[in-house]
Chain A
């Protein structure tokens, strides 16, 4: 996968750190990673990133507040692409698994267990998965979960600044 990825974040003072850290991971769980497995999440388009950000503020004033859009240029040699039926079949993952509730699940979901496996090797560095925010409004959109521990050259992730210059790099 060689493309530009996008993420919307709240308009906080993220850029005032010294130095700012764009590729920060907290180890908290996400759709594709269980707790304590580092993972970076992006969307494939600005439209999807906006939907992902906005869905959590529906009905609240913050839905219209300013937000910051960050861009990353990624070059990932191998990605588990869950948009491909053959990949889902090979992994024994269903569409329901892809959208399973994970926050309060008593144990890691199938997708989180897949993420755990990806984070523990060096060949595949990301999972491409369907956007729940898009599904809720009846459209299709895709996100990418990148596992920093699995990134080795020539794969790389670059956070882009205003002029397209690299602000931070992971490789």
Chain B
């Protein structure tokens, strides 16, 4: 718990217009800055996205930006949260109107529980802390859930088959995972919604573990396949994947789908 809580989420600051600047309370998270035009090209959003803009009305006028942001959030695995930070605090007399406009804003998104709103920089600090706490708690819950449901992870042959994916720390390493799958670290990082720098700097970071775990589940098939056969299998068209190869599906960001297939292979689940 302590380690997870200390590890800051990957963070990005953006604004619908012009250059983004980093609000002071966010500096400790070392966020990356992204122009509005860059959002569309992102495969996933980071764990924490901060939209830093003057006020709510101005934001609502940028419909294309909001639609793109909503699409990217939909494509991003949890945990991922967006904090809308407004520089200007609205007057109390406007509260009813504000509530209506927030409904309009949230209406763009199909994950409204992953949105936070803060007006004024001081409120922003509280919102960041709350979002970070929720992200860390979600990471922990998802890791406990996968441990509960993961019977195969206890099998010696499966453990041996995936041992080379781990660093000396015992944690999954982005370097090793990339190598086993024949991907570059940059490509693997993009697939899990991280930058190459993040994945290279600490390849076995706690924050990468839930993202690398589906790759480990795929690599378990090496308990019954030789290294050569594993590579061959990755490149073989698979009728259960609509004729696509496992590697194609992984490159489309659907590694969990291939991981489920591997579990069915090992457990012989009829199709």
Whether B260 and A29, one on each chain, are in contact in the complex, defined by CB atoms closer than 8 angstroms, is yes
Query: Could you tell me how many residues of chain A have their Cβ less than 8 Å away from some Cβ of chain B?
Result: 42
Which residues in chain B, 207-265, are within 8 Å of chain A measured between CB atoms?
223-226, 229, 232-233, 236, 239-242, 249, 254, 257, 260-261, 263-265
- Whether B61 sits at the interface, judged by CB under 8 Å, is no
CA distance A27 to B150 in the complex (A): 10
Most buried by B among A27, A52, A104: A104
CA distance A104 to B158 in the complex (A): 26
A13 cross-chain contacts in B, Cβ below 8 A = 155-157
- Whether B149 sits at the interface, judged by CB under 8 Å, is yes
Whether B270 and A131, one on each chain, are in contact in the complex, defined by CB atoms closer than 8 angstroms, is yes
B261 cross-chain contacts in A, Cβ below 8 A = 56, 103
CA distance A133 to B260 in the complex (A): 18
Which residues in chain A, 81-119, are within 8 Å of chain B measured between CB atoms?
101, 103-104
- Whether B100 sits at the interface, judged by CB under 8 Å, is no
CA distance A30 to B103 in the complex (A): 38
Most buried by A among B154, B232, B264: B264
- Whether B271 sits at the interface, judged by CB under 8 Å, is yes
CA distance A159 to B229 in the complex (A): 33
Also in contact, A31 and B270, with CB within 8 A (given A14-B155, A104-B242): yes
Query: Could you tell me how many residues of chain B have their Cβ less than 8 Å away from some Cβ of chain A?
Result: 35
Also in contact, A24 and B151, with CB within 8 A (given A8-B268, A59-B236, A133-B271): yes
The number of inter-chain residue pairs (CB within 8 angstroms) is 100
**A-facing mask of B193-216, CB < 8 A → 1, else 0?**
000000000000000000000000
Q: Is the interface of A mostly helix, strand, loop or mixed?
A: mixed
B268 cross-chain contacts in A, Cβ below 8 A = 7-10, 49, 52-53, 67
Whether A9 and B266, one on each chain, are in contact in the complex, defined by CB atoms closer than 8 angstroms, is yes
B150 cross-chain contacts in A, Cβ below 8 A = 26
- Whether A154 sits at the interface, judged by CB under 8 Å, is no
Interchain residue pairs A-B with the least CB separation, the first 5: A143-B270, A52-B270, A53-B268, A9-B268, A62-B224
Beyond the given A26-B149, A53-B268, please list 12 additional residue pairs across the A-B interface where CB-CB is below 8 A: A8-B268, A9-B267, A11-B224, A12-B266, A26-B150, A27-B149, A28-B264, A49-B268, A57-B265, A61-B225, A101-B240, A104-B242
Q: Give residues in B with beta carbon < 8 Å to A.
A: 149-152, 154-158, 223-226, 229, 232-233, 236, 239-242, 249, 254, 257, 260-261, 263-271
Q: Give residues in A with beta carbon < 8 Å to B.
A: 7-14, 16-17, 21, 24, 26-31, 41-43, 48-49, 52-53, 55-57, 59-62, 65, 67, 101, 103-104, 131-133, 136, 143
A/B interface sample: 28 pairs, CB < 8 A: A7-B269, A7-B270, A9-B266, A10-B224, A10-B266, A12-B152, A12-B158, A16-B155, A17-B154, A24-B151, A26-B149, A26-B263, A27-B149, A28-B260, A31-B270, A31-B271, A48-B270, A49-B268, A52-B268, A56-B261, A59-B232, A62-B224, A103-B257, A103-B261, A104-B249, A104-B257, A132-B270, A133-B270
